[in-house]
Each structure stands twice: as C-alpha cells, then as structure tokens.
C-alpha cells in the first residue's frame, strides 16, 4: 500500500497539509480496476450521489462541486467513502452514510441495532440513563 501511495500525484492537496495525501488514499479513495480513485474522481462520485439524493439543480450541483474540489467545503467523511456508490442506494444501508448515531438502550434489540450501525461504519453511542436501562 505504501508503494501505491508514492506513485500518486502529490499536487492534489496543498503543501500545508502534508498528511492529506496518505489519509485520503487510505481512507476515502476507493479501489478501481486501474488503481485508486483520484480526488477529482471522489468529487465526481460523491457530488453525483448528493445530486441524486437531494434532487439538486445544476446550479446547486456546480456550487457543491466547486466548493469540494477547492477544499473549501466537504461532504462528511462517511459520505466521502460511501457517497455515490451502489451500496448506499439500498435502503437497508442508508445508516451507513451517518458519521454517528445515538441509541436509547431500552431493550435487548438496541444492542443489535448498535452492532448493525457499527458494522456499516457509523459511529455508535448508547444512552444508558436509568429510566432507559430499567426497561431491560
């Protein structure tokens, strides 16, 4: 993997962010048939996913693309990974686009929900207040 990162054009991210390149390719760039996605390809994938999800106008889509490609505003980290993929279009996977969640622990199924969310990459939080856990 390190050798793959060395081959990548370092000019995609500013010099003031020296760890941006390895973090990007480790975390957000998906594997393709020819290697890994570039920043431009991730922008295309994620903005197209947002365009479809939000039924955005061409003007709104253009604004998002300009802001993200210039690193002025970004989608969530989860969306950078799953946005615009076939996986996230399936209803049972929608929660995989969330950065974090919170669940009241009121029954044993709550633990299963926490595990499902974690397996999709969503951060999980358990609300363990007495009035909730007394219901277990």
Kindly state the helix (H) or strand (E) to which residue 116 belongs, with its residue range. helix 109-119
Quote the number of domains for the chain.
2
- Nearest alpha carbon to residue 98 among 117, 112, 113, 85: 117
Shared domain check, 119 and 57: no
Shared domain check, 104 and 58: no
Shared domain check, 126 and 66: no
Shared domain check, 71 and 43: yes
pLDDT for 2 equals: 45
- Positions in the chain whose pLDDT score sits under 50: 1-3, 5-10
pTM of the model: 0.77
Shared domain check, 73 and 26: yes
Would you tell me the crossing angle of helices 58-69 and 39-54 to the nearest 10 degrees? 150
Residue 125 domain boundaries: 98-136
pLDDT for 11 equals: 58
Shared domain check, 120 and 74: no
């Amino acid at each position: 993997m390190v050798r793959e990162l060395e081959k990548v054009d370092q000019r995609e991210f500013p010099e003031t962010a020296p760890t941006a390149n390895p973090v990007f390719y480790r975390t957000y760039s998906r594997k393709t048939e020819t290697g890994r996605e570039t920043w431009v390809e991730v922008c295309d994938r994620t903005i197209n996913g947002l365009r479809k999800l939000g039924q955005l106008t061409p003007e709104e889509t253009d604004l998002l693309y300009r802001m993200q490609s210039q690193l002025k505003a970004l989608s969530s980290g989860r969306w950078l990974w799953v946005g615009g993929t076939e996986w996230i279009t399936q209803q049972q996977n929608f929660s995989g686009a969330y950065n974090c969640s919170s669940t009241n622990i009121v029954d044993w199924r709550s633990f299963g929900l926490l595990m499902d969310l974690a397996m999709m990459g969503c951060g999980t939080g358990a609300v363990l207040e007495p009035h909730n856990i007394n219901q277990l």
